[in-house]
Amino acid sequence: MKTSQILELLRKASPTLQVKIQHKEYGVLPVGNVYHEPPRTFLQEAKEEGVYSNVKGLLERLESIDATVPFDADLTSGDDWNFQEVQSVFESEGKVLIQISDPVFN
């Protein structure tokens, strides 16, 4: 999913809602780090409560990265060679969940 699509979806959610990364095998994990490494922007999960625990914090971080990147980056998770693609963003049980795929080389 492109960063612009994620930003649009996050802007519609309440800024105080928790935001988590969801994977069918690993469950629901907090967002621990967000960074850009061309050509992708990455969400890294955390084992405990993440740095970007609510929609407002994640949105601000993604907007600051997006302002410096001259193209619409893919938003992924994992690492630069075996990443997981963001498949959807949705609200469930008072949280915003960012659902990710299996790793591309799985």
What's residue 62's pLDDT?
Answer: 96
The separation between CA 36 and the C-alpha centre of its own chain, rounded to angstroms, equals 12
- Radius of gyration, alpha carbons of the chain: 12
What's residue 74's pLDDT?
Answer: 94
Confidence of residue 49 (pLDDT cuts 50, 70, 90): confident
Q: Is residue 105 in a domain?
A: no
35: domain range?
Answer: 3-100
Q: Is residue 106 in a domain?
A: no
Side chain identity at residue 34, one-letter code: V
Q: Is residue 32 in a domain?
A: yes
The pTM of this model reads 0.90
What's residue 25's pLDDT?
Answer: 85
Confidence of residue 48 (pLDDT cuts 50, 70, 90): confident
Q: Is residue 80 in a domain?
A: yes
40: three-class secondary structure by DSSP: strand
Q: Is residue 51 in a domain?
A: yes
- The number of distinct structural domains making up the chain is 1
